[in-house]
Structure 1
Amino acid sequence: MSDPVALYMQLLHAMRSPDNSIAVQHFAPDFVAYEDPGMPYGGVVRGGANFLRLRGKVYDAWGSGCLKLQYVTGDPEGGHAAAHFNLVGKPNGATETVEGNVVVVWAFRDDLATEARVYYFDTPRLAKALADSGYQYA
């Protein structure tokens, strides 16, 4: 098994490309993401392409460049990596900046992402900031 931190960094690099067809190749066919259910866009998302669309919705909600990677850690023999981000954005174009923390735990199999679990610190406050800004997930 490859180092999951290295696999995540490859996936992250691919997701930064404007061409999602490159990034989608890093996801297993049975990929599942569990977005924090307390967020307006929360829930279960199946498939890499759908995850990439969800990721786009998150950037639409919080603003481009809202997720700032702080660190990545993982177990080279366990198939998991975790990425910690600072979330800094103006929800739905609000005038006030909102900050928070997000951790995404990734699982890999055969060098492909099979699962992502997204955890927000202080979900109620972040969800309220989105609601107060008039954000509606579509």
Structure 2
Amino acid sequence: MTELLGVLEDFYAAEAAYLAAGGPGKADFGDFAGYFHPDVVLHQDPGLPYGGTWRGRDGIERFMSEMSRTWERFEFGEQDQWPGESTVVVRTQVSARARATGTELEFPILQHIAFRDRQLLEVRPFYWDVTAIAAACSR
């Protein structure tokens, strides 16, 4: 169980480094991609601007591009983590600013993350208020 928390900590550090280097279109996705299992699936609520199911490492890279187009800033704050045998549930407080409107939001996200071979296999985020987030991101 604690092994998964270590993997998750390394993943978050790699994500931060990828974004600090410029993120999609500017930074090399290759090193960051290694944290995702080749069969990774990310499920985003269809009510979000980047909603849908994103499959494979190339899908994650496209998702990161959509997130970058949607948010000027998307920062993770306080987190709580609950590890299981092959999954971790993470509650994260997010602070974000939408590109389209400049609206600033703070909200929690609860994520269920499944792992295989020390890589993220499936991610299911649950947003507190999808309607408010979608409204903040559209003109």
Q: Please classify the TM superposition score into its range, dividing by the shorter chain length.
A: 0.7 to 0.9
Deviation at 1:93, TM superposition (A): 4.9
Alpha-carbon RMSD across the aligned residues, in angstroms, is 2.1
Which 5+ residue runs of structure 2 have no aligned equivalent?
19-27
Aligned counterparts of 2:112 and 2:60: Cα–Cα separation in 1: 14
Secondary structure, aligned partner of 1:3: helix
Q: Is the 1:70–1:83 Cα contact (8 Å) retained in structure 2? A: no
**Structure 1 residue 8 corresponds to structure 2 residue 8:** yes
State the AA in 2 paired with 1:88: S
The residue number in structure 1 matching 2:29 is 20
Give the TM-score normalised by structure 2: 0.80
Q: Provide the C-alpha distance between the structure 2 equivalents of 1:9 and 1:41, rounded to a whole number of angstroms.
A: 25
For the residues of structure 1 that align with 2:102 and 2:52, how far apart are their CA atoms? 28
Q: Which segment is superposed worse, 90-99 or 19-28? A: 90-99
Q: Deviations over 1:17-63 (max 9, x none)?
A: 23321111111111101012221211100012321331342243122
CA contact (8 A) 1:86 1:101 kept: yes
Deviations 1:83-134 (Å, cap 9, x if unpaired)?
3222322212534422222122211111111111111101111111112xx3
**CA 1:21–1:72 in structure 2 vs 1: closer, same or farther (change >3 Å)?**
farther
Q: CA deviation at 1:74?
A: 2.8
Higher RCO, 1 vs 2 (CA within 8 Å, ≥6 residues apart):
1
1:43 to 35, 41, 52: 52
Moved segments of 4+, more than 6 Å? none
Match of 2:91 in 1: 84
TM-score, structure 1 length as denominator?
Answer: 0.80
Q: Is the 8 A contact 1:69 1:84 kept in 2?
A: no
Q: Which residue of 2 aligns with 1:112?
A: 119
* Aligned mates of 2:86, 2:13 — CA distance in 1: 19
